[in-house]
Structure 1
Amino acid sequence: MSRTGADSPPDDLENDVEETRNSVYWHDTEPVEVGEPLDGDASCDICIVGAGYTGLWAAHFLAEAEPAADIKVLEAETVGSGASSANGGFVGLTAGKVLRRLLWYYGREKAAGVYRSGARSIIDIGRFCRQYGIDADFAMNGVLQVVTDRKQLARLELQVKRSERTGLRGSFKLLDRDEAQQRIGSPQVLGALRTTGALVNPHRLVQGLARVVREQSVDIHERTPVTEVRKVGGRYRVTTPTGTVTANEVVLATNAWQHSFAQTHTKVMPVWNYLMVTEPLTDAQLSRVAWPGREGVSNSLSFAHAARLTADNRVVWSGGRWYYYDQRDTDRSHLRNDAAHAELRESFARFFPAWRDVRFSHAFGGPIGWSRTFIPQFGRTDDGLVYGHGYTGNGIAPSHTGGKILRDLVLRRDTEYTDLAYVTVNQPKFAKGAMGDKGAHLFIWRQETGDRLPLLLPHPAALAPRSFFAGRAARRAAGANR
């Protein structure tokens, strides 16, 4: 990618990436006290492995449903130390490419069910924060899916058609170039789709959720990595370096780390994505770019970039290509990736040229759990373990829904949640070992190449953008008047 001319940052910012802190920005917004590890052997009704959103929502909903149940949560590091606190804080619906796959493989009813559950979870997370006094900066600002080239316009056209096929017309609003640029002041923007969504401080949310779960008499043991889960007789033995837990039911909820367990090794792949956070913008800097609604923003590439404002007026800029490290490596040394952060700096300068002089204070990354279908997976393994994972970079809202799915799977209930596509659709697996490594690299190359190729097939939106937006607006107005 070019680093010359208008595409590159000013000369005095060339070393900006190297000077940033390679730490998770959100962790600076609220200090935490690390809980005690497991100390010796224990027994319980339900053992949950993983204290991120998935595991903690499951614990919360299980404790609500069965207050007398003895529930223990085991966390390898600290609460939310994985993707739950190292993401952009977007609480949104499933991406458009997922809708395509849902419609193609599973039909309109299943696709619509996924979207309806996600929309409910967005609202319910806000209610949860208000009910329990969690100061997570939850803001129901909506999300703008913007397009920055004609190929993305074609993708937007297809997404609109698919959304209408599933009866989701009322959950989005199409904006032409002028309307979109009034919502987000980037000269790259050619149009946008405004959808339901919210923004949140993900670290404060997961810490608040952990507090609520502890108040429900659930034990959370941090610094307690699980090395093996094995069925012995009619119960499960969960082994850790500091003790063993024997449980009637076990939930595996480690998302990108699910490959650590033999039962789920091939179900999900860990791929890394990266973020950068600016220093707080001054009022003068903020005034350079129109962003009146402070929505979350993402473009329509396969490897999309995304932007949002924090409560203290920093810009979070994230996304770009995925990185896969062989043998499913999730070592924390990959938190720093100079190539990824340099690309983010350049793409930020192109999208927000008025902020080319803004400096970044934090640069970090983390592994996301990639499922082959791009939708989360829930179910039981052959030996009866309950699992949930595979959010593929969009997990805050689906993990809330997932907590209810896991509750009902553990309690062996047939409900609207266990009937969602997350549970009932086919769950193809990844290959093991070197073949799995090659497959991951091939997929990333293919997606990158697809983003760079020109538009190959004609689409009305790409050939005549004004007519496309005007026609859609006219049809929407006619429908509203009927």
Structure 2
Amino acid sequence: MRSAAADRGAVHRPPCRADAGPDDLETDVEEIQNSVYWHDTEPVEVGEPLDGDASCDICIVGGGYTGLWAAHFLAEAEPSARIRVLESHTVGSGASTANGGFVGLTAGKVLRRLLWYYGREKAAGVYRTGARSIIDIGRFCRRYDIDADFAMNGMLQVVTDRKQLARLELQVKRSERTGLRGSFKLMGRDEAQERIGSPQVLGALRTTGALVNPHRLVQGLARVVRGQGVDIHEHTPAVDVRRVGNGYRVSTPTGTVTANEVVLATNAWQHSFGQTHTKVMPVWNYLMVTEPLTDAQLDRVNWPGREGVSNSLSFAHAARLTSDNRVVWSGGRWYYFDGRDTGRGHIRNAAAFRDLRESFARFFPAWDDVRFSHAFGGPIGWSRTFIPQFGRLADGVVYGHGYTGNGLAPSHTGGKILRDLVLRRETEYTELAFVTVNQPTFAKGAIGDTGAHLFVWRQETGDRLPLMLPHQAALAPRAFFAGRAARKARAADTGR
């Protein structure tokens, strides 16, 4: 089967073999396409940059999911408002498309922090709105006829060692404390391996989630927003945002925009503005995509529900199938580049690709002949709390960012938060933990660089250390899963 890129006449490069040995990897990495796979699935027409000076009611800086969802919900709420979106490159060219297309709930480590610091009510609110956004994104695609391959397949959080079993046990207990018992299904080893055929899998937690082509979704969203009368100026970087009188002036290389309200929605690039420089740290994560699998290759691995799959490491790996039966394999350790460097040259990282290749071989040994066609990376907007941050700065600028690698669903929720903040409404969205909880910042300069490197080292080391404390799931996995299943059955009987 030919790839979309080949059908459009792209230069063919021999893809990386799944069984490549250490001596072959450097050569293969040189040959692989270091471009975002999703961009091959739909051509786009790039919009015009800002030409001269302009004015509007609301200026949104950032043409990814956060900015575009905000524009969409603002245009719905205030159809007469003049809204402009400024995008430094092209719509969705940042983290909005350099990801695996997983539309899931917030990660387990976030639930732990929410419970510890902000309580059960705030934690449950984050998860409820996240689940609602997953469903609403599917409805949005159907309403506006956006062919984004949206599939409500669910997510499998799998465990591949005893330490991850302990983490799973803790996550289940936290979910139950938050009242989220009905949003997941716990599976022992045999049942989990029937859902995802990896010999590494020791158990799994199935949760609400969906898969999507993130490029087609963001392009469809941009078309809808333009149809609502919003002006989107591509190749228009905002170089300065400052308060002028009762409004704001946003300066770009091709003109200025004066506005009554400004929204900063550039996520991993928020450090570019003095007002938000310390709120988000940009770190890089990487993905690899295979050639389309044949029917014979697909039959080797159980994956009947085609769920999104991720393990339970701090630096987790994740897998999914695309609509043309490619495997997307993503995750692993983060990479931080000093000076908060988000230069596009970092899309290529031979060390990250080698690690991904080796972890893929361990998880899917049955696919030892599968070949990779694409390898690429993208920046993550990492917040200190691991949850998104929204609010209004001292100068009145509204902001939203910090999805920490899990932004497809929260950015939809975030669009509603930004709408209500801009319109100065007090709603259920402005009361979410994303807005109301403490938002610690990162240090500047060399101290911030050192802190980021230390964090990456600590998380990577933590994943490698053995389990230190006893946990039921790690000591007796079969008894743990069987006991949980029995308790769930008794609770169901009681409720009849």
Same fold (TM over 0.5): yes
Residue matched to 2:180: 168
Q: Distance in 2 between matches of 1:74 and 1:68?
A: 19
Selected match of 1:183 from 174, 195, 200: 195
Structure 2 residue identity aligned to 1:302: S
What amino acid is aligned across from residue 180 of structure 1 in structure 2?
Answer: A
The answer to whether the aligner puts 1:211 opposite 2:216 as a matched pair is no
1:86 aligns with 2:98: yes
Identify the match of residue 97 of structure 1 among 87, 109, 116: 109
> 1:248-274 deviations in whole A, cap 9, x for unaligned?
000000000000000000000000000
Question: Quick check: 1:266–1:432 contact (8 Å CA) kept in 2?
Answer: yes
Q: Which runs of 4+ in 1 moved over 6 A?
A: none
Structure 1, unaligned runs of 5 or more: 1-6
AA aligned to 2:406 is N
- The equivalent position to 2:127 in structure 1, one of 112, 115, 123, is 115
Amino acid at match of 2:102: F
Q: How does 1:285-364 map to 2 (within 5 A)?
A: 285-364=297-376
Q: Letter of the aligned partner of 1:189 in structure 2?
A: V
Cα offsets for 1:110-154 (capped at 9, x unmatched): 000000000000000000000000000000000000000000000
Deviation at 1:326, TM superposition (A): 0.2
- Of 446, 452, 467, 2:464 maps to 452
| Alignment equivalent of 1:236, drawn from 248, 253, 257 | 248
Q: Give the equivalent residue in structure 1 for 2:478.
A: 466
The answer on whether the counterparts of 2:347 and 2:378 sit within 8 Å (CA) in structure 1 is yes
Corresponding position: 1:368 with 2:380: yes
Question: 2:149: which partner in 1?
Answer: 137
SS at match of 2:79: coil
> Does structure 2 retain, via aligned residues, the 8 Å contact 1:49–1:251?
yes
Which of the residues 73, 84, 91 maps onto 2:85? Answer: 73
Query: Cα 1:339–1:12, aligned 2, differ >3 Å: closer, same or farther?
Result: closer
Matched letter for residue 246 of structure 2: G
Shift of 1:32: 0.2
Q: Secondary structure at the match of 1:374?
A: coil
> Identity over the aligned pairs, expressed in percent?
86
Q: Is the 8 A contact 2:284 2:377 kept in 1?
A: yes
Give the distance between the partners of 1:36 and 1:106, measured in 2 at CA: 44
Q: Does 1:434 align with 2:435?
A: no
Task: Using the TM superposition, give the Cα deviation of residue 8 of structure 1 relative to its aligned residue in structure 2, in angstroms.
Answer: 6.7
**Aligned-partner residue type, residue 471 of structure 2:** H
Note the alpha carbon deviations across 1:161-204, whole angstroms, 9 max, x for none. Answer: 00000000000000000000000000000000000000000000
Superposed CA deviations along residues 198-251 of structure 1, whole A, max 9, x for unmatched, are: 000000000000000000000000000000000011110000000000000000
Is residue 91–residue 198 contact of structure 1 (8 Å, CA) maintained in 2? yes
Contact 1:176 1:191 in 2 (8 A): yes
Once the two structures are superposed, residues 428-456 of structure 1 have per-residue CA deviations (whole angstroms, 9 ceiling, x without a partner) of: 00000000000000000000000000000
Asked whether 1:270 is paired with 2:282, we answer yes
Quote how far apart the aligned CAs of 1:394 are: 0.2
In 2, the alpha carbon distance for the partners of 1:341 and 1:459 equals: 34
Where structure 2 has 5 or more consecutive residues not aligned to the other structure, the ranges are 1-17
Letter in 2 for 1:312: D
Aligned residues: 476
Summarize the Cα distance change of 1:441–1:407 in structure 2 as closer, same or farther, 3 Å threshold: same
- Residues 323-349 of structure 1 show CA distances to partners (whole Å, capped at 9, x for unaligned) of 000000000000000000010000000
CA deviation vs aligned residue, 1:68-118 (integer Å, no higher than 9, x gap): 000000000000000001100000000000000000000000000000000
The answer as to whether partners of 1:9 and 1:346 remain within 8 angstroms in 2 is: no
1:37 corresponds to: 49
1:17: how far off?
A: 2.8
CA distance in 2, matches of 1:11, 1:323: 21
Q: Matched residues in 2 for 1:453 and 1:188: separation? A: 18
Partner Cα separation in structure 2 for residue 36 and residue 67 of structure 1: 23
Match of 1:58 in 2: 70
Residue 357 of structure 1 and its aligned partner are, at CA, apart by: 1.3
| Partner Cα distance (2:88, 2:104) in 1 | 28
RMSD: 1.0
Deviation at 1:12, TM superposition (A): 9.3
Distance (whole Å) between structure 2 residues aligned to residue 451 and residue 34 of structure 1: 42
Q: Which residue matches 1:151?
A: 163
Partner of residue 480, structure 1:
492
Letter in 2 for 1:425: V
Distance 2:199 2:108 in 1: 23
Give the partner amino acid of 1:67.
Answer: P
Q: Give SS of 2:379's match.
A: strand
Q: 1:9, CA displacement in angstroms?
A: 3.8
Q: Which amino acid aligns with 2:428?
A: E
- Contact 1:44-1:247 at 8 Å conserved across structures: yes
Q: Indicate the residue corresponding to 1:4 in structure 2.
A: none
- Superposition pairs for residues 380-419 of structure 1, below 5 Å? 380-419=392-431
Query: SS in structure 2 opposite 1:475?
Result: helix
Q: Secondary structure at the match of 2:59?
A: strand
Instruction: Tell me, yes or no, if the aligned pair for 1:10 and 1:357 is still in contact at 8 Å.
Output: no
User: Displacement, 1:16?
Assistant: 3.1
The separation in 1 between residues aligned to 2:341 and 2:458, in whole angstroms, is: 21
Q: Structure 1 155/11 Cα, relative in aligned 2: closer, same or farther at 3 Å?
A: closer
Matches of 2:459 and 2:19, distance apart in 1: 24
CA distance in 1 between counterparts of 2:460 and 2:189 reads 26
Q: 1:11 to 1:227 in 2, by over 3 A?
A: closer
Q: Tell me, what secondary structure is at the counterpart of 2:420?
A: helix
Aligned residue identity for 2:44: V
Please report how far the alpha carbon of residue 20 of structure 1 lies from its aligned counterpart in structure 2 after TM superposition: 1.0
1:47–1:250 contact (8 Å) kept in structure 2: yes
Determine helix, strand or coil for the equivalent of 2:238: coil
State the Cα deviation string for residues 346-393 of structure 1 (Å, max 9, x = none). Answer: 000000000111110000001010000000000011100000000000
